[in-house]
Structures are given as structure tokens and as C-alpha cells.
Amino acid sequence: MSFYIGREASKLWKRICAETTTEINLLAENWKYLLAGIVFQYIHGLAARGVHYLHRPGPTLQDLGFILLPELGQEKAYISETLFTFIFLSFVLWTFHPFLFKSKKIYTVLIWCRVLCFLVVSQALRIVTFYATQLPGPNYHCREGSKLATLPRPDSIFEVLLINFPRGVIYGCGDLIFSSHMIFTLVFVLTYQKYGTRRCIKQLGWTLSVCQSLLIIASRKHYTVDVVVAWYTVNLVVFFVEKKLPELPDRTNAAATLLLPLSTKDNKDGRTKEENHKLLNGNSVVDPADWRQRTQANGKILEDGHTNHADTAMNGA
């Protein structure tokens, strides 16, 4: 028994080391995109902090969602945040699954490059909208009479730049249209919809997205319009931005996996840097005559249980 455990542990360690080497090489080529995406998260937080200074509390606007959904109250407002935290952490863990599991469908660095790209475009549109018009916040701490509804004039520029994380984010006001929580939720669900393999998880993801939308409204964190605008805006952003991005390489193709450069020395054996870039952009450098089974079609990874059907279709049977 101990021999079996030791052997499996050795295999797992080798798998982690090999995946780490691959991801480090991808990170060396794409770190600028990741850094830009992370920096923009700070800019987005800074913009949300800035609009809080402009927020003026007032009567809560008439809202259809507020009429239809009962108010959860301050004591149950944590339910919405708990669900969002679950969705966020679940997606993060999924993006790192290639380090542990044999079924490697994605590259962690490349998938996060795409996710951050979707987030940046969506958040840029969000900044424009909530600065264009400041609505009276429906959240409890944004209503008239609350000390947090309007921030006092800052004593220095550093007070603004530091954002007061995480309290400044949790108790922000004025950044309403459209919901930031729904941006992250929908980007994560849409990404798994394309690159995930479990149909049940995809269905669960969309169900949780609807639940998240209802809980945000019931918690009075956003108006219904904030959630509705997020649904169609994020979907359109992902649809159009994805057309401009190179497709992810097919990890289910063993030949492509072997051709991925593990170090800069790989270029010395005749494999040029141009070929490696083609591979990372989704253009296979495998011999065109090799038309073996592919479990990825039209840039989408087929769900479990459909690979046999793909093989039959490709062989003309």
C-alpha cells in the first residue's frame, strides 16, 4: 500500500513540475498582458472609490425587482456575497486543475489572459456608465441618514489612491450601472461554458448566475437595471472580443502538447520561434496529412461522453 502511494505521489510531483515548467514559459511570453489586466483591477477599484465622493444619497428609485423580490435585510445580506465567493473560488481552482489532473484541457496562463481581457473591457464600459450618471444607492449604507453614504473630502491624494481595501470596496456607493459582481460571474461562467468539459457544471454555473442576480436585487445592493445591463453587456463583450483573440491551443492533441516549448533550448533543434507562436495561437504545426481524432471542434472542447461521436463523424461513418 505504501509503495502504491509513493508511486502515485511521485507521478503527481512529476506532473506538477512538468506543468509548472510549461506555464512558466507561457508566463514569460504573456506576463505583460497579465500585469496589464491586474493593474486595471486597481484602476477599476480607484474609479469606484472616486465616484463614492460624488455620490449623493436620496430616495430609493422605483424598481420592479424591489417590488417582486422580498427584501433580505441587512442581517442576510451576506448570502449574496457568500455565493459570489463560492463562484469566484471555484473558477480559480478550476483554472489551476492542469497542475493536478491528467485531463489537461487548458493552459492556466492563457485562460487568465482571456479572462482578464474580458474583465478589462467590461469594467471600462462600467466606469463610463457609472460616472455618466450617479444614482442614489439602494444599499443600506448608501441611503439617507447613513454616515457612509457620502465620503468626506480627502485629506490627501494618498487617501484616494489607497482605496481603503477591502472596506472601501464593500461599502462603496455610486458605482451602480452595471453590477461588478455580475461581470465576474458571467465572465467565469461563459469561460467554463466554452472550455469546461462537465455539462452538469455548466448547467450549475448558469443556475448560480441567475440565483446571484436575484440575490443581488433582494439584498438591495443594485437596482434591477444594473443586473439586466450586465447580462447583455458582458455576453456581447465576450462575443466580440473573443473574435479578436487567438484560439487556445488544443491540449487534447498529444502532438501539440509535445511541440510546446519547455525551454528556450527547444529552438536549437530546428523548431523556430515562429512555429511556437503559431502553436500558442491555435494554429497547429502538425503535418496537414495527419487527420487523426481531435476532441476539440471549432475552438470548443467537447463535453465528456461525446468523443466517440466525434471520432465516428470524422471517419465518415
pLDDT in single tens digits along all 317 residues of the chain: 566 666 667 788 888 888 899 899 999 999 999 999 999 999 999 999 999 999 999 899 999 999 999 999 888 888 999 999 999 999 999 999 888 887 778 899 999 999 999 999 999 999 999 999 989 999 999 998 888 888 888 888 887 787 776 666 778 899 999 999 999 999 999 999 999 989 999 999 999 999 999 999 999 999 999 999 999 999 999 999 999 988 888 776 543 444 444 444 444 444 445 555 554 444 544 444 444 444 444 444 555 544 444 444 444 44
User: pTM of the entire structure?
Assistant: 0.77
Task: Identify which of 41, 84, 63 has the alpha carbon closest to the alpha carbon of residue 212.
Answer: 84
Catalytic residue among 44, 52, 55, 181: 181
Catalytic residue among 44, 175, 222, 250: 222
What is the C-alpha separation between 173 and 134, in angstroms, rounded? 9
Whether 222 sits among the annotated catalytic residues: the reply is yes
- Where exactly are the structural domains of the chain? 30-253
Strands (E), the chain: 296-297, 300-301
Task: Identify which of 221, 234, 214 has the alpha carbon closest to the alpha carbon of residue 65.
Answer: 214
What is the C-alpha separation between 138 and 183, in angstroms, rounded? 19
- DSSP letter (8 states) at residue 97: G
In sequence order, which residues have a C-beta less than 8 Å from that of residue 138 and are 6 or more positions away?
Answer: 60, 61, 63, 66, 220, 221, 222, 223
Write down the pLDDT at residue 159: 78
